[in-house]
Amino acid sequence: MWRPPGTLGACALLVGALCFSPPVQAQDTVNVLHWWTSASERKAADYLADRLQDEGVTWQDAAIPGGAGVGAMKVLKSRVLLGKAPDASQLIGPAISEWADLGLLLELDNVARRGNWNDKLFPTVNSLIRLRGHVVAAPLGIHRINTLFYNQGLFTKLGLAPPHTWADFDHAAEAFSRIGVTPLAQSTEPWQIATLFETLLLSETGPAFYRDLLVRRNANSWFDPRVSRALERLRKLKRWMPQQLSERPWQDEASDLAHGKAAMWIMGDWGKGELQAQGLTPGDQFGCIAVPGTADAHLYSIDTFVMFTGDYGNQAAQEKLALMVASPQVQAGYNRIKGSVPVRRDVDPSTLDPCARQSWMAFARGAAVQAPSLVHRMATDEALKDAIVSLIRRYFMDDHIPTSELQRRIASVVRALSQEGNSYDSQDTGR
Ligand code: GAL
């Protein structure tokens, strides 16, 4: 629902003034802003729209193209500042608390009570959607970022097993490059380079040290030799990527894997959704394993919807959407299309495909194995994320930048952007 400038959202954000709008009549339409525009993402959004229609509410779509929500977040900010906040929006990670703190988000405590979210959701999901005891977001699915996809036909053709170590990876890559197949699909979009890097960082360091770097923001830890090794691996992997790298959207890499132009691809498991949308079946034409060295870890990004309060005129429809997305049926149907796994603990893993089963079971092992994605907005605020992503991209594109220099640059950015209380570690903040 589009609202004229001057309603509560803009007032609260811009001047902190008190603004009152007359209540409007309850509506049966929700305007939903998101960044799901690939074939599988579109199908997943359509699935949600259909289920919402079953509840008598129409989904009015506001899709903003751009992987990882780079464009969508800018549009969302400007819509809120113009007083045209959507009714619902994909908004993920610590940003949920920041926006809730501004008083912009609808509290969903009644919905959570009705859906018994406290018991049914994974603890990490429960704490992500809560601020000071109030539920302020509705969870959709958990993506695993440290996923390596491989084309089963190509591996069978060369008699190769999927690689669990970097030595196996290099061995397989060498064999594919000999037969003229690109060993590793990759794009130069900044978020895609950084997505690859964060999996390498996890591979070298493990979840505890990864959190130290990105959640506790320990600037000195960035000088650690394990970080140097992850950076150097990022550059070394270029040898297995296409000769002519370009800023392609991630869906194009899914096509390359599907058509046997590339043998492997490291990407969040929305890639699985896209491969399925191209007619492939997980565990059959393609497989997923954890990125080498990360089998015991889950680098996660959790998709969530927030509801904007506006003048509270659309609360009933917004609550229907929130309740619906976390229900067992919708969780099963939506996540199967999207590539993610349910946010619920009461799932029978035997009903999941092999990729989803690995992801769900790894996540279920709890906080010690979980690492929040930097690039997919789980670890830090936007400013630090954007700064690190752009430094990583520069380092990847320009082989002349010494690794130690890049570490120094990241450490100073981390130091500069980390004031006290700016860490998102729940142990640090007591959230
Ligand atoms: C992630 C998001 C996923 C998927 C992906 C590619 O940030 O959580 O749902 O859309 O970006 O755009």
Cβ of 273 closer than 6 Å to ligand 1, yes or no, is no
For residue range 183-204, list pLDDT tens digits in order.
999 999 999 999 999 999 999 9
Report the chain's mean pLDDT, rounded to a whole number: 92
Ligand 1 atom with minimal separation from the 376 CA = 7
CATH 3.40.50.300 fits 147-299+371-429, yes or no: no
Closest CA to 352 of 257, 272, 295, 291: 272
The H or E element spanning position 14 is helix 8-14
Angle at 48 between CA 248 and CA 64, to 5 degrees: 35
For residue range 413-425, list pLDDT tens digits in order.
999 998 644 555 5
Residue 392 has pLDDT above 50, yes or no: yes
Cβ of 253 closer than 6 Å to ligand 1, yes or no, is no
What share of residues in the chain are helix, strand, coil (percent, to 5)? 50, 15, 35
Burial-class residue 263 by CB neighbours within 10 Å (0-12, 13-18, 19+): buried
Mean pLDDT within 6-32: 52
Task: Name the percent of the chain lying above pLDDT 90.
Answer: 90
Q: Are 293 and 165 in contact (CB under 8 A)?
A: yes
Domain boundaries, the chain: 28-144+302-365, 147-299+371-429
Cβ of 67 closer than 6 Å to ligand 1, yes or no, is yes
Domains 28-144+302-365 and 147-299+371-429 share a fold: yes
The pTM for the full model equals 0.92
For residue range 113-135, list pLDDT tens digits in order.
999 999 999 999 999 999 999 99
Distance in Å, CA 69 to ligand 1 centroid: 7
Distance in Å, CA 263 to ligand 1 centroid: 22
Indicate the fold that domain 28-144+302-365 takes in CATH.
D-Maltodextrin-Binding Protein; domain 2 (3.40.190)
Residue 157 has pLDDT above 50, yes or no: yes
Distance in Å, CA 265 to ligand 1 centroid: 16
For residue range 291-300, list pLDDT tens digits in order.
999 999 999 9
Ligand 1 atom with minimal separation from the 92 CA = 8
Closest CA to 162 of 177, 141, 147: 147
